[in-house]
Structure 1
Amino acid sequence: MSGAVRIDSAWIAANPVPVHDASGTTKNSRGRVLAIGGSRMVPGALRLTGEAALRAGAGKLQMATIASVATGLGLLVPEAGVVALAEDPDGEIIGDPQPSLRKALDGCEALIVGPGIGTTRAAAALLRIVLDDSRDDLTLVIDALALGCASELKSELEAFAGRLVFTPHHGEMAMLTGLDEDTIGNDTERVAREVSDIYNAVVVLKGSDTVIAAPTGELLHYGGGGTGLATAGSGDVLAGAIGGLLSRGATPLVAAGWGVWLHGQGGRRVATTAGPIGFLARELPPEFPRLLPQ
């Protein structure tokens, strides 16, 4: 792929993630992640995102989702704290600035918004809450349908310039840009660069080949972890991996590159034991610790 640096063992060695000293390290100093999402239709999406963040090395995880599934999600991921949010009749999060959500926002370094949310309306309401109270030490990962409302919140997103990661597949990039998917697929580098420049964000344009563009001009390419990664929940895992690495102190570009590499290499490892097709997204995060530096 022209103009792009390949994410391979050489890139990984040259761009290390933070390694925490064994002495004096606590779960808070390892990094704190908040993932917001889920709905009655997709109640388990945050399980995938949250577990990926922890497997990528985050020390502390909170998950905010609709009240009717919050307890069950907490039992499914007992390592995490859960925040129960009000929901509308359709089972989507109501974007009110609830005190519990505000408190959770104050207690994280990396925030992931989008996995499992079923409408751009709900996603936009949540993003507005986040953007109304931005902090200089908070990095934001915008995923799934939350990307569909980023264009209408462009001016608000400027407060996070340089601290944003977008993780669209081609369909979500079409929602964000108004381009059709064929146009995006035929010129992924250009589209990723343009969106990165417009939003001052690291853009991870997912596909069989993944392109990562940074507003500083870097362009990365990963050749994919196999066809098996094209499965439900795979993107939720990737968003969590990137969020976990961000919370540990990785820059947005390094977190994106490592997240894509962990996701892809994890897929390759699972494929050797489970087969190339038919493994589940939840089988990917357990591979991350084996791939991360000790």
Structure 2
Amino acid sequence: MIELDAGWRASHPIKAAERGTDKDARGRLLVVGGSINVPGAIALTGEAALRVGAGKIQLATVRSAALPLGVRFPEGRVLALPEDDAGEIAIDPPEPLHQALGRVNVAVIGPGMTDNDAAARLVVQASKAEVEIPIILDAAAVACIHGMEAALDPLRGRLIMTPHPGEMAALLGCEEDEVREDLPRHATASARQFGAVIVLKDAETVIASPDGNLVHYSGGGPGLGTGGSGDVLVGAIGGLAARGLPLSDAAAWGVWLHGEAGRTLAMQTGPIGFLARQLLPLLPALLPR
């Protein structure tokens, strides 16, 4: 297991944006998620992606939340998707989603969704889209997979999943305590099973690749255990992937940036009590120059 330290970062550099590079050249990211109960989560995800240098963001969410989300996040384009009776995304018909996936370089699916069945339908439709972009599954979009693992077969080699231990346990059909007892083993096995980069996040985080590589980050502190923190993390990963980093590098760098922003806030304000949105302005200064 390799430590996510200065040596790792030096050997896996983030290429600086060249002078004159426009927003299209820095990558386009689609974030699909949110619900009537958690309408703002994908705003955190989209802003995090911009803060790490992505060029364009599109947010796709339930119709009732689309307009206020667009006002809250003027830097992004908003796509209103059909909404079911529970206030979750309804992918019927799937064409708007497929068209949106065809306009971007990377997609994040799942932040702010609260219903596993709705998330499962969304993941299935994303896997059927006739585009081969990287897909990042987060939150309910990971927890919903157990029993329908074959749906992820079309995504092998271009998939990142970002579960915490509870979501990993739901994915694997085991107990959460079992996952916590051996994070590296579960992350490595899942990476091989799904052909995916697995970011298994806890007090410490491990990033496992399908080729068996395993990177360890000691954690950004207890303050990161707060609502919205994971939405920021997956946005940082998605933004870096949209910029063209290899998926395993984007995952590890996203983990480091998110964690170091947490460390910085802990020193400035105290170990707990800061908000996920406070991480966002710190991300640009942590990027290599």
Q: TM-score, normalised by structure 1?
A: 0.95
Contact 1:33 1:111 in 2 (8 A): yes
| TM-fit CA distance, 1:157 | 1.7
Tell me if 1:76 matches 2:67.
Answer: no
Contact 2:146 2:173 in 1 (8 A): no
Match of 2:240 in 1: 245
> Aligned pairs, how many?
289
Match of 1:26 in 2: 22
| TM-fit CA distance, 1:179 | 1.5
Tell me if 1:9 matches 2:6.
Answer: yes
Match of 1:47 in 2: 43
Out of 155, 158, 161, the position equivalent to 1:163 is 158
Match of 2:281 in 1: 286
Match of 1:233 in 2: 228
Distance between the aligned counterparts of 2:242 and 2:177, measured in 1? 35
Contact 1:171 1:181 in 2 (8 A): yes
Q: Which runs of 5+ in 2 are unaligned?
A: none
Distance between the aligned counterparts of 2:199 and 2:14, measured in 1? 18
Contact 1:32 1:110 in 2 (8 A): yes
Give the 3-state SS of the residue equivalent to 1:115 in structure 2.
coil
Match of 1:220 in 2: 215
Sequence identity percentage? 48
Provide Cα deviations, 1:228-247, integer angstroms capped at 9, x if missing partner. 00001111111111000000
Distance between the aligned counterparts of 1:139 and 1:249, measured in 2? 10
Give the 3-state SS of the residue equivalent to 1:38 in structure 2.
coil
| TM-fit CA distance, 1:98 | 4.4
| TM-fit CA distance, 1:161 | 1.3
Match of 2:255 in 1: 260
Distance between the aligned counterparts of 2:122 and 2:139, measured in 1? 13
Provide Cα deviations, 1:78-113, integer angstroms capped at 9, x if missing partner. 000000011112111112234433322111111000
Distance between the aligned counterparts of 1:187 and 1:146, measured in 2? 23
* Amino acid paired to 2:10: A
Q: Which runs of 5+ in 1 are unaligned?
A: none
Distance between the aligned counterparts of 2:127 and 2:241, measured in 1? 18
Give the 3-state SS of the residue equivalent to 2:35 in structure 1.
coil
| TM-fit CA distance, 1:134 | 4.1
Contact 1:196 1:202 in 2 (8 A): yes
| TM-fit CA distance, 1:133 | 1.3
Range moving further from structure 2, 66-75 or 156-165: 156-165
| TM-fit CA distance, 1:16 | 1.0
Range moving further from structure 2, 163-172 or 99-108: 99-108
Distance between the aligned counterparts of 2:174 and 2:16, measured in 1? 40
Provide Cα deviations, 1:114-167, integer angstroms capped at 9, x if missing partner. 00111111111111221111423x101000011122234432322221111010
Distance between the aligned counterparts of 1:83 and 1:18, measured in 2? 31
Match of 1:207 in 2: 202
Distance between the aligned counterparts of 2:47 and 2:148, measured in 1? 29
* Amino acid paired to 2:186: V
Q: TM-score, normalised by structure 2?
A: 0.97
Contact 2:110 2:141 in 1 (8 A): yes
| TM-fit CA distance, 1:10 | 1.5
Range moving further from structure 2, 159-168 or 148-157: 148-157
Tell me if 1:102 matches 2:98.
Answer: yes
Question: Cα RMSD over matched residues?
Answer: 1.2
Contact 1:226 1:267 in 2 (8 A): yes
| TM-fit CA distance, 1:276 | 1.3
* Amino acid paired to 1:26: D
Contact 2:35 2:112 in 1 (8 A): yes
| TM-fit CA distance, 1:195 | 0.5
Distance between the aligned counterparts of 2:254 and 2:219, measured in 1? 12
* Amino acid paired to 2:9: I
